[in-house]
Amino acid sequence: QSALTQPRSVSGSPGQSVTISCTGTSSDVGGYNYVSWYQQHPGKAPKLIIYGVSKRPSGVPDRFSGSKSGNTASLTISGLQAEDEADYYCCSYAGGDTLVFGGGTKLTVL
């Protein structure tokens, strides 16, 4: 149950696009289409923004999109807005009904 690997930080200007990667193994990210992404603002509970690699829950703007290639999943945020500044976590099913999170990425909107 090793944590998935995410960049510690990314940044972008309003209106730009940023991509956050999430690298695992064939036993988690690469083995299943069960990757989810969570947004967490300071002092708040995490919020689901992507599930099943690329599906968006109701109410999540289509500026948020997810994809996967091999053992790496990605979250892309287009048209960056100030309110997108937050921590982002990926999470993958890892077999045997266990889950593993990434270490988290801090997004700064310049």
Partner 1 sequence: EVQLVESGGGLVQPGGSLRLSCAASGFTFSSYSMNWVRQAPGKGLEWVSYFGNSGSIYYADSVKGRFTISRDNAKNSLYLQMNSLRAEDTALYYCARDGGAAYEMDVWGQGTTVTVSS
Question: What residues line the site for partner 1 (CB under 8 A)?
Answer: 1, 3, 33-34, 36, 38, 40, 45-48, 51-53, 55, 57, 87, 89, 91, 93, 96-104
Q: How far is the CB of 85 from partner 1 (least distance, A)?
A: 17
Task: Pick the closer one to partner 1 by CB: 18 or 35.
Answer: 35
**Residues forming beta bridges with residue 100, ordered by sequence position:** 92
H and E: helices and strands count for the chain: 0, 9
Q: How far is the CB of 15 from partner 1 (least distance, A)?
A: 28
Q: Which amino acid is at 4?
A: L
Task: Pick the closer one to partner 1 by CB: 60 or 82.
Answer: 60
Q: Compute the distance between CA of residue 18 and CA of residue 105 in angstroms, rounded to an integer.
A: 12
| Sequence-ordered list of residues with C-beta below 8 angstroms from that of 99, at least 6 positions apart, any chain | 91, 92, 93
Task: Pick the closer one to partner 1 by CB: 13 or 39.
Answer: 39
